[in-house]
Chains A and B, each alone.
Chain A
Amino acid sequence: MSDLKNDVLSIIADKGRVERDRLALDARLADLEIASLDVIEIVFAIEERFGIEIPFNANDARKEFDTVGDVVRAVESVVAKPAA
């Protein structure tokens, strides 16, 4: 597992108050009882940790971030882009 993915999963586990081994990439955030306010805090913590901006509007939360993998991929795609 990449360091990046590892860090993202740690943040989700911490802020979402979910055991780390339940965080399969296809696990749905709603099924893990990660509430919308938790998602916002997770995004904030990831941005602070990596110094990045993740485009995310809570009005589209369920469309954009349905699963754990959605969050990981969003971070990976932002990190992969060269800094503007």
Chain B
Amino acid sequence: MGLRRVVVTGLGVISPIGAGVADFSDSLFAGRCGIGPLSLVSTEKLSVRIAGEVRGFDPAAHFDARRLGLLDRASQFALVAARQAVEASGLGFDGPLGLRTATILGTGVGGITTLDEGFHRLYGEGAQRLHPFTIPRLMVSAPTAQVSMEFGLTGPSFTASSACASAAHAIGLAFQMVRGGLVDAAVTGGTEASLTFGALKGWEAMRIVSPDGCRPFCETRNGMVLGEGAAVLVLEPLDSAKARGARILGEVAGFGMSADAKDITAPDAEGAARAMRAALADAGLAADAVDYVNAHGTGTTANDVTEARAIHAVFGDHARRLMVSSTKSMVGHALGAAGALEAAATLLALERQVVPPTAGVERPDPACALDVVPRDAREARVEAALSNSFAFGGLNAALAFRRV
């Protein structure tokens, strides 16, 4: 079997700017920011006071009590997003397709709410024992396992974990499996729910979180803002999607990966550029055929200027015409879910022919020298787009998408 073209026929989203694709999309193109005061944990002992939280999420509306006992917030998000995506795809997995479907999700830290609460009881309150579901809730593979069980997906299943690139690695691997004929469908994406006191203290100690907002590529940017959420995509071959008359959101055209092999936190333009070039080559796309890049764009001094340098290196003169935006400006940085939420944003840009803005930009940083689509979404022709994910530790992934 040769290489098959792979398309996205289902999408599901749980995010700080909306639950469900319709709400997410409305906020995305309205430039509505989901970042606000932290409410999930007390900020009394935190200097990090803002985040992109998924507000109004009621687990009991989605799961019965027995099931819920086994689900960390990260798995809850993954399951709800996966239900939306599978329903939208119109695929059924009860028959032979279940055997031929992969489940590959990304997460940075997995069930850290369970870990944080359990260890607080143990160390802080002197409890003698932990809840027996502690391990099955907290393991990084739990969201993937739960999604596979939900739909009876019995093909290749595992969690990809590469910090902030986890979901992009997951989607890229799922794409390769469908393209190569190893499976006939994939449920893929990422989830993260790590706004816990312990995790926030860890971020606080890194001194890279902004006190007042996420302004990627802005001259006044002063750090990242954490987010949470999940996005799930259903992938299948173009031919079978067409044959069954499925609604096609866009094509996953290529995937590129690289490692900086340099520093555990500092980004490297060369490594980022290699991932983007690999994605373009894999997709058979010329650099000047790309209209839009959904940037990693965290809003830290180091990331944005380095990513801009990488984009200039890859795209040359075209870099000044290219639209580049960071949807983290609205969602915050959802870490292991970021690549999936941003793949969703990129697909919606292709489908609607509107580029989501970099919200909150006051003055585009001349040092980046990019059209960052500041503040307002822009109607534009978007035939092909890249979505970048560059993780701590220099683990890079870039996904190329094309309009079908």
Residues of A at the B interface (CB closer than 8 Å) are 35-37, 40, 43-44, 53, 56-61
Indicate if the CB atoms of B208 and A57 lie closer than 8 Å: yes
Task: Determine if B266 and A57 form an interchain contact, defined as CB atoms under 8 angstroms apart.
Answer: no
Report B212 CB to chain A, min CB distance, Å. Answer: 11
Contact B300 A59 (CB under 8 A): yes
Known: A40-B205, A44-B205. A59 touches B264 (CB 8 A): no
* CA gap between A80 and B107 in the complex, in Å: 44
Residues of A within 8 A of B263 (CB): 35, 37
Interface SS of chain B: loop
In the bound complex, residues from chain B placing their C-beta under 8 Å from that of A43 are 207
B222 and A59 contacting across the interface, CB-CB below 8 Å: yes
- Chain A residues with Cβ below 8 Å from B301 are 58-60
Contacts of B210 in A (CB 8 A): 57, 59
A56:B265 contact, CB within 8 angstroms: no
Which B residues touch A56, using CB under 8 A? 207
Chain B residue, CB-CB nearest to A55: B47
Give the chain A neighbours of B265 by CB distance below 8 A: 36-37
The distance in angstroms between the C-alpha atoms of A57 and B277, with both chains bound, is: 33
Residues of B within 8 A of A37 (CB): 263-266
Complex Cα distance, B222 from A59, in Å, reads 6
Pick from A44, A53, A59, A61: contact of B221, CB below 8 A: A59
C-alpha gap A35/B262 in the complex (Å): 13
- Structural contact, A60 and B222, CB atoms closer than 8 A: yes
Q: Which residues of B contact A53 (CB under 8 A)?
A: 47
Pick from B47, B208, B266: contact of A59, CB under 8 Å: B208
**Most chain A CB inside 10 Å of its own CB: which residue of B205, B207, B210:** B207
How far is the CB of B296 from the nearest CB of chain A, in Å? 16
**Distance of A44 Cα from B300 Cα, bound (Å):** 20
Shortest Cβ gap from B391 to chain A (Å): 16
Q: How many contacting A-B pairs (Cβ < 8 A)?
A: 40
The answer to whether A58 touches B264, judged by C-beta atoms less than 8 angstroms apart, is no
Return A84 CB to nearest CB of chain B, in Å. Answer: 14
Q: Is B90 on the interface with A (CB-CB < 8 A)?
A: no
The answer to whether B211 touches A57, judged by C-beta atoms less than 8 angstroms apart, is: yes
Select from chain B the residue with minimum beta-carbon distance to A40: B207
Q: Are B205 and A57 in contact (CB under 8 A)?
A: no
Known: A58-B208, A59-B223, A61-B207. 7 other contacts (CB 8 A): A35-B263, A36-B266, A40-B207, A57-B207, A57-B210, A57-B211, A59-B221
A sample of 13 cross-chain residue pairs with beta-carbon separation below 8 angstroms, ordered by A number, consists of A37-B263, A37-B264, A37-B265, A37-B266, A56-B207, A57-B207, A57-B208, A57-B223, A58-B207, A58-B223, A58-B300, A59-B221, A59-B302
Chain A proximity mask over B235-268: 1 for CB below 8 Å, otherwise 0? 0000000000000000000000000000111100
A36 to B306, CA, bound (A): 15
A61 to B301, CA, bound (A): 10
Judge whether B206 is part of the interface by a CB distance below 8 angstroms.
Answer: yes
Residue in chain B with minimal CB distance to A47: B205
In the complex, residue of chain A having the shortest beta-carbon distance to the beta carbon of B266: A36
- Give every chain B residue within 8 A of A58 (Cβ-Cβ): 206-208, 223, 300-301
Which of A35, A36, A40, A57 is the one whose CB lies under 8 Å from B222?
A57
Chain A, residue nearest B221 (CB): A59
Bound form: Cα–Cα A58–B210 in Å: 10
A-side contacts of B47, CB under 8 Å:
53
Which chain A positions have C-beta within 8 A of B211? 57
Who on chain A is nearest to B206 by CB?
Answer: A40
Alpha-carbon distance between A43 and B223 when the two chains are bound, in angstroms: 18
**A64 smallest CB distance to B (angstroms):** 10
Q: How far is the CB of A63 from chain B (nearest CB, A)?
A: 10
Chain A residues with CB under 8 A of B222: 57, 59-60
Tell me, in angstroms, the Cα distance from A57 to B48 when the chains sit together: 11
CB of A30 to closest CB in B, whole Å: 13
Query: In the complex, what distance in Å separates the CA atom of A36 from the CA atom of B263?
Result: 11
> How far does the alpha carbon of A44 sit from the alpha carbon of B206 in the complex, in Å?
9
Q: How far is the CA of A15 from the CA of B360 in the complex (A)?
A: 37
The residues of A that contact B264 with a CB separation of less than 8 Å are 37
Binary contact readout B210-224 vs A (1 if CB under 8 angstroms, 0 otherwise): 110000000001110
Closest 7 CB pairs of A and B: A58-B207, A59-B301, A59-B223, A59-B222, A58-B208, A40-B207, A57-B207
Residue in B closest to A58 when the chains form the complex, CB atoms:
B207
